[in-house]
Structure 1
């Protein structure tokens, strides 16, 4: 069994009105230095976003969110930031900002499979949990 490696992650959030502070978790960025792993998983629930702000330009939000994944992958389409080292890209992406796309504080953990942790975080922190209906 491979040894555990430390990882850092942050949630990606859309904050339609920075002044109001309401946000919607739409993704996770996970960085594991020892395994040379940097990946973002984004899932925008447009219906939930429009419930927060019916006038938001969803296409523009989606475009900015897609850029996060491009930066993580080091794709040229991600712009100059995508050419930095994995560590530099992660720290640029999670830097605090007052914009419509923000990240949570950075959290840490240990794992032997960063891709599995990323999937778990997406399932538990971004996707809506199915409510159990009690039968009377």
Structure 2
């Protein structure tokens, strides 16, 4: 039986117009020092973003969001950030910013399967809720 691991996570948000403070959750970053784990999944609902700002430059947003999983993976493809430790990369990604791409405060969880935890966080925090069924 796997030993439960404590992990940290942050929700990735797109804030189309920073001055308004409105945002759409578009991804999750999960980090576990004990397991050397750092991963992110991004799922952009362009219609939801355009509802907040029809003039939003989606190509620029996508390019910036695509860098998050690459930084998590580390290595040369992530540039200088790829040489940092897992913990340092997570803290860099989760640092507060006042740009169109931001993260939530860091939260903590505990699980047996980090990949499953990432998927559950996507379901709960990023993906639109499933339509409720009539009784």
TM-score tier (shorter): over 0.9
Structure 1 equivalent of residue 105 of structure 2: 105
Written as runs of structure 1 = structure 2, the 5 A alignment for 1:59-78 is 59-78=59-78
| 1:20-35 to 2 correspondences below 5 Å | 20-35=20-35
> Quick one: distance in 2 between partners of 1:28 and 1:96?
15
Distance 2:58 2:77 in 1: 20
Q: Output the TM-score relative to the length of structure 2.
A: 0.96
State the distance in 1 between where 2:13 and 2:37 align: 21
What's the offset of the Cα at 1:78? 2.3
| Equivalent position of 1:87 in the other structure | 87
Q: Distance in 2 between matches of 1:22 and 1:89?
A: 26
CA-CA distance at 1:36 after TM superposition:
1.0
Q: How many corresponding residue pairs?
A: 135
Residue 16 of structure 2 aligns with which residue?
16
Gap runs ≥5 in structure 1: none
For 2:109, what is the secondary structure of its paired residue? strand
Q: Which runs of 5+ in 2 are unaligned?
A: none
Detail structure 1 runs of 4+ shifted over 6 Å in the superposition: none
Deviation at 1:94, TM superposition (A): 0.2
Partner of 1:117: 117
